[in-house]
Chain A
Amino acid sequence: MVQNIIDVRNLSKSFDISSKEPGLKGTIKHFFRRQTKSLKVIKDISFEIKEGEIVGFLGANGAGKTTILKMLCGLIFPSQGSILVSGYLPFRRKEDFLKNITLIMGQKQQLIWDLPPIESFYLNASIYDLDKFEAKKRIKKLSEMLEIDEELFIPVRKLSLGQRMKSELLAALIHEPNILFLDEPTLGLDINAQRNLRKFLQKYNKETNATICLTSHYMKDITSLCKRVICVHEGAISYDGKLDLLLKKLSPVKEVLIVCRSEEDAIKLENSGFTIKNKIKNEITIKIDNNSITSSLKTILNNFDIEDLFINEPPIDEVIGKVLIKKNYDI
């Protein structure tokens, strides 16, 4: 049986936020009597993640996804509740715990700006107690997986964003962590770089059975990497479960564009009881329930003279967009 590697119980986090009115008057008032209020950004959430799972955290900007990741890796202290990651309390930042995890945050970098990435890799290798031989071996292996070579010897400031991101990943993975916290890792990358990064993460997960917690606003990252998603809405979990179940629930019908051989056939089809979305001459778009898609298409092909047929999935961004604005999803 696969064990839980992350166990979160009734976790909450509040931040003290100060606000200031605009202008000189506001500034003077703010200087003498600062208005602060406590803002609860994470509200009593609980979940578990199993070893080797890739879980996507979905939510609108400010929903609390990144705050959850920061608490899971021990970067910030929770206000309430408990977190166990790999048997450790993350915030205590025990050496063994820190050697087991990594956090990659979009365009925030740990590479030394004026030096080639290879220098940062060897520095990280020393920090994680790797000897030079082992470090060299891992750098070679990871650079092959990430398809970087000459870039290792060029100062970081002269690398492209994609090359930098790959180098960041290498620096963050040199100690071969079992748990990866990735906060928008593909932010700002072009389509090819995004695809390569996703391929790399899939391969890393497959080869090392690492657990990956991921946030991203690119739905392709989520759909190609995560079987399970946790949707966060205003600091609370609105859905925790399989991604395909969520998609089925949110888009229960498929749109089928049917091109009939004649307009008469299109009229006949229009009057045959299917839900029609629109009709233009001999082209007709109908909505069919996911559960009856096979039988419905069989009926249409048997009874009408069809020239062509297209089944359209609703755009994933549109479907997920619905999750981000809703409080709760019971599947």
Chain B
Amino acid sequence: MRVNANTNGGAHISWASAQAKSAEVKGYPSFATRNQGFFSRHMRRISASLPRFDGGGNARYAEKEKLQRGRWGGGAGRWSGVMGRIGRMVWRMRLRFAVLFGFLFLVIAFYVTPLHRIYRRASFLGGGSKFVIIQAANLGGGVMEWKGPREWAIERDSLKNKRKYAKKWGYELEIVDMSTKKRYAHEWRESWEKVDTIRNAMRKYPDAEWFWWLDLNTFIMEPSYSLQSHIFNNLARTTYRDINAYNPLNITHPLTFPYLDAETRSPIGDGLASSINIIVPQDCSGFNLGSFFVRRSVWTDRLFDIWWDPVFYEQKHMEWEHKEQDALEHLYAAQPWVRPHVAFIEQRMINAFPPGACGEKGEDPRIHYREADRDFVLSNRLNRNAWERIKDWVSDSVKAAKEKRKEKQEKKNEKKDGEKGGLESCGYDCMGAAFRWAMHPKSILHFWFRLYFLYCLVLQGKDALPRPFGGASPSPSRASDGLLMPVYLRSS
């Protein structure tokens, strides 16, 4: 209140004292709080360091007229010149820039936002809604056997993979519960639900054209492939009609009975892509119905109708191990009307096998997965993310190197007849193991922790470790010799 008693403008009051007084009144701490923040302290330095666009300092105005005064791009620093030039260029080419940004905007709108799904679904644009992926789930679950955690994990990952793919390209995904049920009066009919399932899907999606049956143990390795670009845009080239190209069942083709018409006797039917109604891959033992396409058509209705017949099955149920697969092979071989509408596709195109599957014939480029060729779908393998791929690549290359090493070793051993023992051979193995250990996905998370751990252990002894790892507890009795203890512990 004494401050108030003195009128403002009193000659004996300096600015500093008034400031101090007012600070006191406000009750702030005794030291100055102003200019404490980073910006308030460095504002001037920052602003002074910013580039200037005014073509020179104000100081120049006070100078006499010189050649470059008031001009752009003078000696006022390279920065201002460059920025100014860019600014002017942008302004001059604003139309072009507008087009560019518009294009960028469209790209983002279509490919980053979900808009592209709508676009890809539409029947007149992407046509994604014309494809239905039928995914069999819960195979053999339910009554027959308990599923272990491994089966559940595979199922979950597989479904996730398919969902993502279908969503990405705007396809319909129909997940079907295939658990064994007493659904049919006749026991033979069980496990023939495949046909009924596809029929139901056809009823459910009346606008769809192609139906893709996929077993559960398949993974779409290259979700960037759309079905259209991978297969259907060029059906005549991606599929083949003449089974003689690859004929593991040795089916006589084409049929030569003189009572058949020319189209049925032709090895390729009418040869038009429009007459293809079913696309089946062949593995080393015949047709493979783990992944195949059917098209909605009257022909398909007929095939589905005749596919299961009690008279066929009564005679063949002991032989037909794969039920519907064998039945289809029989229909193909025995009923000529089927052939002109069946197309085959290389197994690798829609259901590549992992190496080792399918007999002991080894790698068949028509059947087995090759990562280098970026095959579309793989049987029996989890879809790996980017990190897992790197990891696999590392372990694969280590393995390959190891094998080479072994070969060399064997040659050496042949010469020296095994003089040297385990230690040398460990060299590569141990390195590989260490490398793999370091590359374990968890190790990235714990990398720094490990480094610290090693540092403590090697350089400073066990006591320096954090407590859970056998380090010393920060008890007062040991605080005296705790030279190596962290500072914050010693101070207490």
Q: Do the two shown chains form a genuine complex with each other?
A: no
